[in-house]
């Protein structure tokens, strides 16, 4: 199973690629935006954990 924010971001990125290839642009866009936000959250949390 997928563990952590990075794993979820990769999962949503792969889903976005699959749906884009199948022609479901709306679902691909939503999956890509979720992946983008998960990566942003991961980076912010990683920076905070390094500073503390």
pLDDT in tens, 9-32: 788 888 888 888 888 777 778 888
Q: How confident is the model at residue 49 (pLDDT cuts 50, 70, 90)?
A: confident
Contact 14, 23 (CB under 8 A): no
44 versus 27: the higher-pLDDT residue is: 44
Predicted model pTM: 0.65
**What CA dihedral angle connects 27, 15, 36 and 1, to 10 degrees?**
130
- In this structure, how many other beta carbons lie within 10 angstroms of the beta carbon of residue 44? 10
Residue 1 has pLDDT above 60, yes or no: no
Helix, strand and coil content of the chain, in percent to the nearest 5, comes to 90, 0, 10
What pLDDT, on the 0 to 100 scale, is given for residue 2?
Answer: 56
Q: Is the dihedral of CA 22, 25, 31, 35 positive or negative?
A: positive
The pLDDT value given to residue 47: 87
């Amino acid at each position: 199973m997928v563990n952590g924010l990075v794993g979820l971001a990769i999962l949503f990125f792969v889903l976005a690629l699959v749906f884009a290839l199948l022609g479901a642009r709306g679902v691909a866009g939503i999956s890509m935006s979720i992946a983008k936000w998960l990566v942003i959250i991961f980076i912010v949390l990683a920076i905070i954990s390094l500073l503390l």
